[in-house]
Structure 1
Amino acid sequence: MSRTPSDAITWGMMLRKLPSLFRVVPRIIKGHKLANVRDPAQPCGLGWSFEQATQRNPQGPALLCGDISLSYAQVNEQANRIAHYWLAQGIDKGDCIAIFLENRPQLLITLLAAAKVGAVSAMINTSQTGDALVHSLALVAPAAVVVGDERVPAFEAVRGRTALPSVRTWWLADEHGAAVPCGFVDLLGNSEDYPSTNPASSRQVFFDDPCFYLYTSGTTGLPKAVVFRHGRWMRTAVHSGLIALDMQPDDVFYCPLPLYHATGLCVCWGAAISGASAFAIRRTFSAGRFWSDVRRHRATTLGYAGELCRYLIDLPASGEDRHHDVKKMIGTGLRPGAWAAFKARFGVEHICELYAASDGNIGFSNLLNFDNTVGFSLTGWALVRYDQGSGMPLRNLQGRLQKVPKGQPGLLLARIDDKAPLDGYTDAARNEESLYRDAFIPGDLYLNTGDLLRDLGFGHGQFVDRLGDTFLWKGESVSATQVENVLLQHRQVAEAVVYGVEVNGVDGRAGMAAITPSESLATLDFSELLQFLQSRLSAGAVPLFLRIKVKMDITDTFKYHKTRLRREAFDPCVIDDEPIYAWLPGTGTYVRVDRQLAMQIQGGRFCY
Structure 2
Amino acid sequence: MASAPNTAQPAPSICYLWHGGDQGEPAPPGWLDLDEYAARQSEANPPGTGRVRAEQPCFSIFTSGTTGLPKASVMTHYRWLAAMAGVGGMTLGIRRKDVFYCCLPLYHNNALTVAWGSVLSMGASLALDRKFSASQFWERVRHYDATVFCYIGELLRYLLNVKPCPTDRQHRIRLITGNGLRPEIWDQFEQRFGIHRIYEFYGASESNIGFINLFGVSQTAGFTPLPFAIVEFDNDTETPRRNHNGFMQRIPRGGIGLLISEVTPRRPFDGYTDPAAGEKKLLRDVFKKGDCWFNSGDLVRDQGMHHIQFVDRVGDTFRWKGENVAAGEVEGAMARHPDIDHGVVYGVSIPGCDGRAGMAAITLSPGVTLNGPGLAQHLNRLLPAYAVPLFLRIRDHQETTGTFKYRKVELKQQGFEPDQVAEPVYVLLDSQRGYQPLTAELARQIQQGEIRL
What's the TM-score once normalised by structure 2's chain length? 0.91
Structure 1: distance between partners of 2:305 and 2:359: 36
| Identity in percent | 43
Deviations 1:154-191 (A, max 9, x none): xxxxxxxxxxxxxxxx4443356533323334454355
Judged with a 3 Å threshold, the aligned counterparts in structure 2 of structure 1 residues 429 and 491 are, in CA distance, closer, same or farther, namely same
2:188 to 326, 341, 344: 341
Residue 151 of structure 1: aligned partner: none
- The CA deviation at 1:520 is 4.6
Residue 36 of structure 2: aligned partner: 189
SS at match of 1:342: helix
Residue 490 of structure 1: aligned partner: 337
* Residue 137 of structure 2 corresponds to residue 290 of structure 1: yes
1:602 to 447, 450, 453: 447
What's the TM-score once normalised by structure 1's chain length? 0.69
* Residue 118 of structure 2 corresponds to residue 248 of structure 1: no
- The CA deviation at 1:533 is 2.4
Residue 407 of structure 2: aligned partner: 561
Compute the RMSD of aligned alpha carbons.
2.3
2:419 to 558, 573, 596: 573
- State the one-letter code of the partner of 2:175: K
Judged with a 3 Å threshold, the aligned counterparts in structure 2 of structure 1 residues 372 and 574 are, in CA distance, closer, same or farther, namely same
- The CA deviation at 1:519 is 6.1
Structure 2: distance between partners of 1:302 and 1:190: 30
Deviations 1:446-480 (A, max 9, x none): 11111111111222110011111011223322111
Judged with a 3 Å threshold, the aligned counterparts in structure 2 of structure 1 residues 193 and 483 are, in CA distance, closer, same or farther, namely closer
- State the one-letter code of the partner of 1:530: A
SS at match of 1:203: helix
Asked if structure 2 preserves the Cα contact closer than 8 Å seen for 1:495 and 1:515, the reply is yes
SS at match of 2:418: coil
Deviations 1:310-345 (A, max 9, x none): 121222222222221111000011112221111111
Judged with a 3 Å threshold, the aligned counterparts in structure 2 of structure 1 residues 365 and 94 are, in CA distance, closer, same or farther, namely farther
Residue 11 of structure 1: aligned partner: none
Q: Which has the higher helix share?
A: 1
Asked if structure 2 preserves the Cα contact closer than 8 Å seen for 1:585 and 1:606, the reply is no
Structure 2: distance between partners of 1:587 and 1:324: 45
- State the one-letter code of the partner of 1:531: Q
Equivalent residues in 2 for 1:5-24, closer than 5 Å: none
Equivalent residues in 2 for 1:65-214, closer than 5 Å: 143-146=13-16, 170-175=17-22, 178-190=25-37, 192-214=39-61
Q: Which moved more, 1:271-280 or 1:547-556?
A: 547-556
Structure 2: distance between partners of 1:293 and 1:495: 24
Asked if structure 1 preserves the Cα contact closer than 8 Å seen for 2:228 and 2:259, the reply is yes
Moved >6 Å (runs of 4+): 92-96
Structure 2: distance between partners of 1:539 and 1:314: 27
- State the one-letter code of the partner of 1:338: I
Asked if structure 1 preserves the Cα contact closer than 8 Å seen for 2:66 and 2:401, the reply is no
- The CA deviation at 1:517 is 3.2
Deviations 1:352-391 (A, max 9, x none): 1111111211111111111110001121111101222222
- State the one-letter code of the partner of 2:259: L
* Residue 265 of structure 2 corresponds to residue 424 of structure 1: no
Equivalent residues in 2 for 1:451-600, closer than 5 Å: 451-518=298-365, 520-522=367-369, 524-576=370-422, 578-584=423-429, 588-600=433-445
Structure 2: distance between partners of 1:219 and 1:293: 28
Judged with a 3 Å threshold, the aligned counterparts in structure 2 of structure 1 residues 236 and 191 are, in CA distance, closer, same or farther, namely closer
SS at match of 1:453: strand
Runs of at least 5 residues in structure 1 that lack an aligned partner in the other structure: 1-91, 97-142, 147-169
Asked if structure 1 preserves the Cα contact closer than 8 Å seen for 2:346 and 2:408, the reply is yes
Judged with a 3 Å threshold, the aligned counterparts in structure 2 of structure 1 residues 356 and 94 are, in CA distance, closer, same or farther, namely farther
SS at match of 2:119: helix
Asked if structure 2 preserves the Cα contact closer than 8 Å seen for 1:474 and 1:507, the reply is yes
Structure 2: distance between partners of 1:219 and 1:296: 33
Structure 1: distance between partners of 2:15 and 2:67: 26
- State the one-letter code of the partner of 2:331: E
Asked if structure 1 preserves the Cα contact closer than 8 Å seen for 2:64 and 2:402, the reply is no
Residue 229 of structure 2: aligned partner: 382
Residue 149 of structure 2: aligned partner: 302
Structure 1: distance between partners of 2:56 and 2:303: 36
Structure 1: distance between partners of 2:166 and 2:9: 53
Judged with a 3 Å threshold, the aligned counterparts in structure 2 of structure 1 residues 171 and 299 are, in CA distance, closer, same or farther, namely closer
Structure 2: distance between partners of 1:252 and 1:592: 51
Structure 2: distance between partners of 1:175 and 1:483: 43
Deviations 1:380-423 (A, max 9, x none): 11110122222212222233210011001011011112442211
How many residue pairs get aligned? The number is 446
Deviations 1:55-106 (A, max 9, x none): xxxxxxxxxxxxxxxxxxxxxxxxxxxxxxxxxxxxx99967xxxxxxxxxx
Structure 1: distance between partners of 2:119 and 2:225: 21
